[in-house]
Amino acid sequence: MAEKLTPKRKSTQDREDRLKAALKVNLARRKAQAKARDGAGKVQEQNNG
């Protein structure tokens, strides 16, 4: 017989999936922000130098 997920396990799995997706989005956003900051810093150095 197929393994049945109890409601508690299912909700826990759903929560973990949501958290995993949110973490992935946050990481991508932070990488984009860091990349933008690095690019902005280089432009300012070129203008000053």
Residue 31 has, within 13 A of its CA and on its CB side, a CA count of 6
Q: Is the dihedral of CA 43, 45, 47, 49 positive or negative?
A: negative
pTM, full prediction: 0.58
pLDDT tens, position by position, 3-42:
666 677 889 999 999 999 999 999 999 999 999 999 877 7
Give pLDDT, residue 6.
67
d(CA 22, CA 34): 18
Token code pair at residue 17:
């999936």
